[in-house]
């Protein structure tokens, strides 16, 4: 059976309801070695919690949220949390402490560009 989902939120909610224990994402640390996994149910619950936290802090539709995460399942969870909340996710790799002098101006520019016009 095929489904016509209107959004990623619709797709994830459907899968969480009907295939909650099925694996949604697996993180491979080196492209081969599995280090963590999330089921659709886990991802849905975590994304809902993040969406609620964003709403509690005043985040709403059209707001921008910077996602400073290295690659991994935390990023995926935060991304889905942002779209559940209706905010615009702005993914950005976190600056490394040893390269702050170079990374901070770039991050500052990304933050400035992420502001609504």
What are the tens digits of pLDDT across the range 74-84? Answer: 999 999 999 99
Please give the share of the chain, as a percent, with pLDDT higher than 90: 63
DSSP string, 75-87: HHHHHHHHHHHTP
Give the integer Cα–Cα distance in Å for 114 and 110.
6
Six-digit token pair at 20?
Answer: 């909650």
Whether 96 maps to a domain, the answer reads yes
Whether 1 maps to a domain, the answer reads no
Mean pLDDT along residues 24-39: 92
Whether 3 maps to a domain, the answer reads no
Could you tell me which residues come within 8 angstroms of residue 97 by beta carbon, excluding any fewer than 6 positions away?
none
Q: Do 50 and 89 meet the contact criterion of CB atoms below 8 Å apart? A: no
Whether 12 maps to a domain, the answer reads yes
Whether 37 maps to a domain, the answer reads yes
For residue 12, what are the domain limits? 8-114
**How many domains does the chain contain in total?**
1
Instruction: Give pTM, 2 decimals.
Output: 0.85
Q: 86: domain CATH number?
A: 3.40.50.980
Residue 18: the pLDDT is 96
């Amino acid at each position: 059976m095929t489904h016509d989902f209107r959004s990623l939120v619709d797709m994830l909610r459907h899968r969480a309801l009907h295939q909650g224990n099925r694996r949604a994402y697996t993180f491979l640390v080196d492209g081969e070695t599995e280090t963590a996994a999330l089921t659709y149910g886990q991802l849905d619950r975590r994304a809902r919690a993040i969406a609620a936290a964003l709403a509690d802090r005043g985040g709403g539709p059209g707001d921008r949220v910077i996602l400073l995460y290295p690659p991994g399942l935390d990023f995926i969870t935060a991304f889905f949390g942002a779209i559940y909340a209706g905010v615009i996710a702005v993914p950005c790799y976190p600056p490394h402490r040893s390269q702050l002098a170079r990374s901070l101006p770039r991050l500052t520019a990304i933050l400035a560009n992420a502001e609504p016009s």
